[in-house]
Amino acid sequence: MKTLLDALRSRATWRWLGTGALLLMLSPCADAAMLQEAVDLPNRWGPNPSASDYGWRYDELFTLITILISVSFAIMLILLVLPMIRDRARAGHKASFDHGSSLFDKRFTATVSVIVFIVLDAWVLVIAVRDLREGYWNIPTELEGAYRVEVLAQQWSWNFRATGLDGEFGTADDVITINDLTVPQDRPVVFNLTSKDVIHSLYVPDMRMKRDANPGAVNQAWFQPITAGDFAILCAELCGFAHYQMGAQLHVLSPEDFGAWEQDASMIAVAGFDPEDTEAQWAWDWKE
């Protein structure tokens, strides 16, 4: 018993125990690193390049904010760390005495706050409002050649409906797809979003777009693809058990390819139309 107590008191025991605990904590990371190698994927460190007409607005503003806050944080860090080194308590060192309550101090604080507000916040605010009005919230109408898509989200898949060739929702040639959406390049794609059950959120990272699909209401969103190719659609709002599986594919086709595809898809839709299948008749009147 006494030996045990002595061992517990000794520093070496604790050093060994500490090292052991540390290794135990880190071992899962080694596992994970091996798993990572097994998957053998190149690591990605940022978003894919923007593929939408307004995506540059996000990219540029993100960069600007990053520069602004990095400079601010660096200044803060200097003012935080410098006193920790220079003004450390030691023999013969005395703190200065200053309540900082003089009129000068108050004016100084006020001036710096106003400058920081203008440089950090107001600048970004002005750009953001411009971007929103010209980009994200500037939802085009059909007259400008928009491609319209109705999105009905459900646990756990995305139902998409396009008008087909006749330009009307709720007709026999509506192109209805699940977890797979085809849109034209260089035309605005406008969404009407709602949900059958719980709240979902249509997230198209490469287009820099996200919008909630709420049950009981129709939300709008849009983007204009500028690059042809395949892109990911994710669900960004927790929607239950299989939230993490609720992905979809977005195919952006060049105008020529898209014309051919739409023709085919409409024909197939008409051929497969079943008026008895009420489940498939979920279209609503387009909400501008």
Partner 1 sequence: MSHDGIHPEPTSFWRKHVFSVDHKVIAKQFLWFGLVWLLIGGMMAMMIRWQLANPGEPFPVLGALLFPSTGGVIQPDTYNVLFTMHGTIMIFLGLTPVLIGCFGNYCIPMLIGARDMIVPLLNMLSFWTLMLGGAVGFYSLLVPLGASEAGWTGYPTLSTTVGAPGSGETLWALAVFLIGASSIMGGINYITTIVRLRAPGMTWSRLPLTIWGMFFTAILNVLFLPVIGSAMILLVLDRAFGTQFYVPATMIDGGGGDPILYQHLFWIFGHPEVYILILPAWGFISDFLSFFARKPAFGYRVTVGAMLAVTVLSAVVYGHHMFTTGLSPMLGESFMLLTMIISVPGEILFFNWLHTIWRGSLRLTTPMLFSLGTVFVFGLGGLTGLYLATISTDIFLHDTYFVVGHFHLTMAASSLFGAFAAIYFWMPKMFGRMLDERLGKLHFWATFIPLTIVFCVMFWSGYAGMPRRYYDHTYLEYLRDLQHLNVLTSAAAFLLGAAQLIFAFNFIRSRWWGAKAPTNPWEVGTLDMAVPSPVPYYNFETIPTVVTGPHEFSNPAIPDGKDWIFQTEPLADRAAAPTDPSAQPAASH
Report 176-235 residues binding partner 1 (CB under 8 A): 194, 196-199, 201, 203, 205, 208-212, 214-217, 219, 232, 234-235
Task: Please select the residue that binds partner 1; options are 7, 67, 119, 238, rule is CB under 8 A.
Answer: 238
Task: Please select the residue that binds partner 1; options are 10, 13, 19, 72, rule is CB under 8 A.
Answer: 72
Q: DSSP assignment, residue 142? A: G
| Count of CA atoms in the C-beta half-sphere (13 A) of 112 | 7
Is the Cβ of residue 240 or residue 255 nearer to partner 1 in the bound state? 240
Is there binding between residue 57 and partner 1 (CB under 8 A)? yes
Contact segment (CB under 8 A) with partner 1 among 2-10, 183-191, 239-247, 254-262 equals 239-247
Q: How far is the CB of 189 from partner 1 (least distance, A)?
A: 16
Q: How far is the CB of 90 from partner 1 (least distance, A)?
A: 8
Closest CA to 158 of 119, 200, 188: 200
In the sheet that holds 157-162, the strands lie side by side as 175-178, 157-162, 147-154, 189-195, 219-223
Is there binding between residue 96 and partner 1 (CB under 8 A)? yes
Is there binding between residue 5 and partner 1 (CB under 8 A)? no
Is there binding between residue 6 and partner 1 (CB under 8 A)? no
Is there binding between residue 104 and partner 1 (CB under 8 A)? yes
Is there binding between residue 288 and partner 1 (CB under 8 A)? no
Q: How far is the CB of 217 from partner 1 (least distance, A)?
A: 7
Helix (H) or strand (E) holding 33: helix 11-39
Instruction: Confirm if 169 and 161 have CB atoms less than 8 A apart.
Output: yes
Q: How far is the CB of 190 from partner 1 (least distance, A)?
A: 15
Is there binding between residue 49 and partner 1 (CB under 8 A)? no
Contact segment (CB under 8 A) with partner 1 among 2-10, 79-87, 253-261, 262-270 equals 79-87
Strand-pair category, 219-223 with 189-195: antiparallel
Report 144-163 residues binding partner 1 (CB under 8 A).
155
Q: How far apart are CA 41 and CA 249, in angstroms?
A: 20
Is the Cβ of residue 211 or residue 265 nearer to partner 1 in the bound state? 211
Torsion of CA 98, 103, 106, 108, to 10 degrees: -90
Q: How far apart are CA 252 and CA 209, in angstroms?
A: 15
Is there binding between residue 87 and partner 1 (CB under 8 A)? yes
Task: Please select the residue that binds partner 1; options are 51, 52, 53, 136, rule is CB under 8 A.
Answer: 136
Q: How far apart are CA 227 and CA 211, in angstroms?
A: 21
Instruction: Confirm if 185 and 226 have CB atoms less than 8 A apart.
Output: yes
Q: Which residues contact 217 (CB under 8 A, 6 or more apart)?
A: 194
